[in-house]
Amino acid sequence: MWDYSDKVKEHFLHPRNVGEIEDPDAQGEVGNIACGDMLKLTLRIDKKTAKIVDAKFKTFGCGSAIASSSALTELIIGKTIDEAMKVTNEDIAKYLDGLPEEKMHCSVMGQEALEVAISNYRGVDLKKMEEEGEKIVCKCFGVTDQRIIRVVRENHLTTVDQVTNYCKAGGGCGKCKDDIQAIINEVLAKEQQKKEIQPSASAEKKLTNIQKIKLIEYVIEHEIRPMLVADGGGIDLIDVDGNKVQVALRGSCSGCPSAGLTLKSWVETKLKEFVSKELFVVEVK
């Protein structure tokens, strides 16, 4: 038997914000009834402040799915969409005073529904992106390689069983378990590579040009690009000349009035944090 907290029981027996907002500003739908879990999240957003003023959900699933969905709505109402995007599945579980590991996929489903809804509000079709660029690894539950990579990286997972608990991949026929393990190994190898090429904060030795370029490429690929892609944008590294990093913004970021702010407050800040405080970023049109 799984041990549920009193807060999980409370949100299961008396869920908050159940229902569906009529003509919502944003909505996200994830899961599949055939797989056992499905969640539809609808949001009302104040366009002047970008705050979520109301959130409602409908879910088909177990008690943990209902409780996680209820907790999600409580966590995001009153937040701006940027603040809401920072809510993780771990935040949902923590709000409920914990979930059994076998039920963590319910909190992940809530996080994903929120991301789909906000992406929908911003005009980004995540489902289309999955169809065009992601590989289905677990056919039983329709879990893609990118989803597995994400839960492994964000939750520091190391085993197939943990991945199954967090996103259901591998929980059906089991034929995909070798593929899941390969993904885990690849993520762990990349994390180790990151540690090897990134100097410690106290290191006084300067990076060689090759080390600097490799580290800049890694940070752009793993720390910067994912956030821009989530908003329908993108970024390419064009050249590195001394401490000058030349980049080109793509997608919705290209020509955006806030492009300069994005370069300084996000791209340049991340490169200074992970590579060198002497770096500065220049946009190439």
Known catalytic residues are: 35, 106
DSSP helix/strand/coil, 39: strand
- The per-residue DSSP string of 105-130 comes to HHHHHHHHHHHHHHHHHTT--HHHHH
The one-character DSSP state at 34 is G
Question: Could you identify the residue written with the tokens 């989803």?
Answer: 147
Helix H or strand E encompassing 196:
helix 177-197
Residue 131 CB contacts under 8 Å (≥ 6 apart), including other chains: none
* CA dist 237 → 75, 225, 227 (Å): 36, 10, 16
In angstroms, rounded to a whole number, what is the distance separating the alpha carbons of residues 183 and 168? 15
Q: What gap in Å lies between CA 91 and CA 97, rounded to an integer?
A: 10
